[in-house]
Amino acid sequence: MSTLVIGTNVLEDCTHAFSIAKVPLFAVYTRQGAPIVTFELRSPPASVEIRVQENRVVSGGVSVVSERPAAVAIRLNESTLLRVAVQGPEEVRVELDLRPVGLNVYTKEDALRIGGATLSGNMIRRCDVAFALD
């Protein structure tokens, strides 16, 4: 996917949006207009280990839910950890909330919040990893 929108932050042509402890958090591509998500979170630093490969749960107590033809969410119990929605042929909107697994990373009110930082209105282009949390 060439453009990811996280809050009001736009990532263009980045290989990965996030890495946590040097592991890419997620990757997204589309197939017939539907998002296909790979997600990996290790423990530690998270409280649980989760692996989803192309919308299929490999490990962790999560479910992958198709919310409509162009959106998919990864849920842990009643919490949505990641939601991706196709906005156009080259654009995907991402919402995430990793607080249920012990990481203070989430989107809220059109901003990305990481720890005490609020990121909003940023444009990041052509990078390997936009946000590296080590």
Q: What pLDDT sits at residue 10?
A: 96
* DSSP secondary structure, 113-127, as one string: EETTEEE-S-EEES-
pLDDT surpasses 90 at 72: yes
Q: pTM value?
A: 0.93
pLDDT band at 68 (very low <50, low <70, confident <90, very high): confident
The tens digit of pLDDT for each residue in 15-43 reads 999 999 999 999 999 888 899 999 999 99
Locate the DSSP E strands across 3-134. Answer: 3-6, 9-12, 16-20, 23-24, 26-31, 34-41, 50-53, 56-59, 62-68, 71-76, 79-88, 91-96, 105-108, 111-114, 117-119, 123-125, 129-133
The parent domain of residue 76 ranges over: 3-133
Structural domains of the chain, count: 1
